[in-house]
Every structure is written in C-alpha cells, then in structure tokens.
Structure 1
Amino acid sequence: MDPEIAALAGTAGTTLVTLLATDTWHSVRDGLVSLWQRARPDRAPAVAAELDAAREELLSAQAAGDRDTEAEVRAEWRGRIRRLLSAHPELVEELHTLLAEVSPDTAAAPAVTQHATASGQARVYQAGRDMHLGPQ
C-alpha cells in the first residue's frame, strides 16, 4: 500500500467525519461525490446517499455521546477513500485540493517546528498531533 495514499485517506476520513457534523458538510459531500463521479460514475449516486446516511448516523452518535460509532464511521470512510485512491491514484491531487478548501482554518494553522537531540541509548518521540505507542 502506498504510504502517501494511506496518510491522505486517514486525513480525509478524519476531515470528513469532523465536517459532516458542521454547516460545511455539503461542500465535503459534493467534493467526495465528485471524486467518485470521475472514477466510478456508476457508484456516485450511491456514495452520495451513503454520505448522507453517515452524517445522520454521526449526528445521532454525537448526540448520544457514542464515540465508538464516530470512530467506526471515520474508519469506514478512511478505508473507502484509501481503496478509491489506490485504484485511481490520479485523484490524489484533487483530494488534496478538496481538503485544503474545506478544512477549517487551514491557512491560519500555525506551523509546527520540532527539534530533538538524542545520544547514547536515548529515544526521541515527537508528534504534531496524537501519538500512540504500543509494545515493542
């Protein structure tokens, strides 16, 4: 699996779920449907309906405080987008553009600069966001 596609799909899935519960969800929905329209025109209407259903499911889950369903919806769309991009890598740039357009405060986001020095047996772990460390 292409790591760039996997990372982009992860970002898209998270952005999608975040924005489905906002007033800008129409833009996200229309942009994603457009991707499917270009790659799989036969699936585009179904994807539109599935995004609408995902939004309703997400809003219900958020109202009930159900974080598990929110994570499942995010994972589901992350996987769908990853499979679409794997089959149609020519859509990667279009998805980058869509995410830049719909992401809240993209231009205002501060740059993150990290510096670290390790010596000997030391390890350095840095993340610009969430970090999960498991058994090694």
Structure 2
Amino acid sequence: APETPVCAVLIRCEGEFSGNVIFLMEEGEAFRLSEILISQDLGSLDDAMKEEIRDSVNAEVGNIIIGAFLSAISLLVGSPLPSTVPAVAHDMLGSIMDVVAALYGMTGDVALMSKTTLNVIGEDSEVRGTVVLVPDPDSLETLLKKLGVF
C-alpha cells in the first residue's frame, strides 16, 4: 500500500547498461534484519546512534543484494557496471515511488521488479524485500535485446 513505511536503498549504475536500482523493505522488516545482523544489545547508545547503525547495516545489505543483481546484468551485457555508494531513505512507499517516477519518468516508463526473500541461518523467519530496476531508456533496449525479448 502507498502509505506503508519502507526503508529504501538506492544505487545508480553506469556503463553499457545504466539506471537506478532500489532495494525496498517494509520498515519492520528492515528493523528486524538489522537487529538480527547486529546481534548485540545497543541499549547504551542514544536513539540517533542506533538509527545510524541500523541504516549502515541496511545500506550494506542493500548493497550486497543490488550488487548481485548488477553482477547478473553485467554478465548479460558483457560489460562492467560501476555503481555509486548506496543511499538510504525512510518514507512511505508511495512517496519513494513518486520521487522515482518524477526523476526517471521523464526519460522512461519501465521498471523491472523482483521479490527477494532472505533466510538468516538460525532464525525461524524470513525477511522480504523488493528489488526495483529502473533502467535508462537506451539501457532498457540493450537489456531486452540481451534477454531475447526483441
């Protein structure tokens, strides 16, 4: 739902394929994942420091997941895809997607989405997220040709 609070990790890639990749998790999932990965009590730290640590963890998880997707695309297009440092944002899903649409809607109207499930060893539950690939228009054509779509 558009009003769902989310944590978004954004990375821009350039090269033969260029575009933006966003990893989205509901805030509860992002909080739970960071708690699992930190696996220690942060009780003595103030709230701002705890939030900074959680953002750092979520940025790194997003970086790893997005990096895996970009590696696969890099293999498809046969060219390296240098990427930016991940940026983290917290907002409602609708607001995040509005920004994406405003920034990139001027040049294209296609996004590829992939649901992602993380299983953490020793944990009984899964953490779910979505990877959104927003290619630049020329790059979309390159990718679709490599995928054999046209």
Pair in the same fold by TM > 0.5: no
Q: Which has the higher contact order (CA 8 A, sep 6+)?
A: 2
Per residue, is there more strand in 1 or in 2? 2
- Structure showing greater radius of gyration is 1
Per residue, is there more helix in 1 or in 2? 1
TM-score, structure 1 as length reference: 0.30
